[in-house]
A and B are shown apart, each in its own frame.
Chain A
Amino acid sequence: MYRYDEFDHTLVRERVAQFRGQVARRLSGELSEEEFKPLRLMNGLYLQLHAYMLRVAIPYGTFSARQMRTLADIARRYDKGYGHFTTRQNIQYNWPRLDRVPDLLDELAGVEMHALQTSGNCIRNVTADHYAGVAAEEIEDPRIYAELIRQWSSLHPEFSFLPRKFKIAVTGSPHDRAAVKVHDIGLQMCRDEDGAPGFAVLVGGGLGRSPFVAKKIREFLPKRHLLSYLEAILRVYNQLGRRDNKYKARIKILVHELGAEAFTELVEAEWAELKDGTIELPAEEVARIQSYFAPPPYEVFSSATLETQNREFEVRRFEDRGFARWVRSNVAAHKAPGYAIANISLKPQGGVPGDITAEQMDLVAELAERFGFGEIRASHQQNLLLPDVKRADLFALWQALERHGLASPNIGLVADIIACPGLDYCTLANARAIPVAQAISERFADPARQHAIGELGIKISGCINACGHHHVGQIGILGVDKKGVEFYQITLGGAADENAALGKIIGPAFGYDQVVDAVETIVDTYLEIRADDETFNQTLTRVGFAPFKEKLYTKGPQ
């Protein structure tokens, strides 16, 4: 993974020192809150319902065991013993003190981490496929480009005061695990007719109060033009994006209002000025960054060894149903023979989605070193994974995870719920999201039932800002406030992958005490009418909403 060079170290340390001065001046009254707030946000520090909240960047979701130990230590010494992994591959702390945040940031800097640009009207943490570098079907590791974009976008003098926040996601695989189509810019690696890798460029995706699936504005962009093309897009947005209305300020609104064709013409015209200029990626720099993402020293197993390992693995699976279930949902294929990707669910039965204790963080760090090369990934689904586990070690890993409540066999299943912090933590929220997720998790607690249902994404947001990604859930739940009472609007048919789609509202909202029954009714209806191995969305496309509405509303909603 990427290692800071002297410039990175200096930049981050200087920013911490700068922020330390800003905090001191705020505490002394030299800076007003109005002056301080944008500075605070640019350093990832929010003021939420109960306390400040610090969002720490985990660039494209990749971090090390050493960094995880520091995150655990920070949770213990600066917070209340836990952290929360988010839908943008970051980690959040819910209770830091403003007067201690500079010290906290200094400790992060010591392990090459920061909270820069995790808030504010700037380019945010660049996210990527959490299976980057290890997925069997990958064209190229997208993290190389995510790192280049990170460096380009950090403290960019032209793009630090955008009309609104800006989010970029990259995938190196045809199967999109990074939700690129619902980002401001989505980059999908592909090949041209000669087989050379490059990017399809998608712009104007987003969730929130005006959700859009991104438009493809360029079929193929050669890799060397990546930064100049992004610069062109950002320049058009910076110039034309609305600044008069916060709710109309994202690039998706600009693309929608201009039309994709007109927007593309503007970008191409801007790009013509930048192309082949100083911002083009020098091959040596790309090679330097690429070297940080070289595959680790995988052991090369003989066919005989692989056969033996596989046999032993199958025996374990046969003998231990719990292990078999965990493998089925949580283990994914790896490009190196004899290795596997091991997902760690942060969705225990009845738990808070994405939350992890400091002790669990330390354990994951230890396991990353014992069963891998010390690398950990955070997914945008609020889970973690160890990317390079020998198949021969999976059983031992599972046992260790199981002892610490981290082995829920539910990745991609109905209990793998994405939920925003909601009204339990967030000043923007209208309703609680977490207890609804917990109640659904309890209702579907039986792992056998979860596996029988198969892949099904439930996503819950506590307000229209959609941090819980409800628009792209197969079952999406949006919490709303109706005259001071929490209600929940259900949408069906969303998808965040390469078949991205926005869910549609099924009907009147459900009260807090009815929504879990409603979700169960929807799932049971799906099971009754699905044909063969149809996914939820396939069944929905075939039969429409009518069968679901009939079951949900025969008694009438509250």
Chain B
Amino acid sequence: MKTNPRLSHRVYELLLIAYPSEFRSEYGSLMSQLFRDRYRHEATKHKLAILFYWFAVVNDLVVTAFKEHAQKRKGDGFMHNLRRDLIGLSACVAISVAAFVLLSYGRSHEVAPILLFGRILDAVATAGILGNIIVFLLVKVTKWNPLRIALWTFLIVNLVPAILLALVGPKIDPQFRLAATLISYLVSFLFWFSLHYAWRSADTNAVAKS
């Protein structure tokens, strides 16, 4: 079996990205050197030794990268944050569902005060469910600023339907009111973003006090 030590070494160095950055910066170069030393040793053996070595290395990498990430999350208080964020997500979804139920009730019973805010409730419910799930997932899988995630997510989930409705609405509904639709999505954006702003501010204060 033909082998290319330099290419294998490069590939292994690329694969090291699977580890948390702190672990990589501390041990990445040592692991890379270890891989190279062992590779040279394996290359002197039988033809399939390199293939077996690669199999063992990838297996080791998958298992230990997962372990290092799990340990890092444990150290970061990931489970505590997860529980707190799940409570926040549940509260936001509950608000969205409540808005939807209120709107449905207002429509079925023709309750004028509810129908007056019908478009706003509609926007709050639809943008709320989708937006909050996206925010929750992005906060968990990325290291971006949570408030910035909330800002851009709610901007997009409110702006996209508002633009689509502005384009399509007048064609399918003669009584379509553009200004009311735009205002409802603006209110929805302000409502959800303010809620996240308040949530993150309270969280920062709690951390500072502790």
Is B truly associated with A? Answer: no
Q: Which residues of A contact B (CB under 8 A)?
A: none
Q: Which residues of B contact A (CB under 8 A)?
A: none
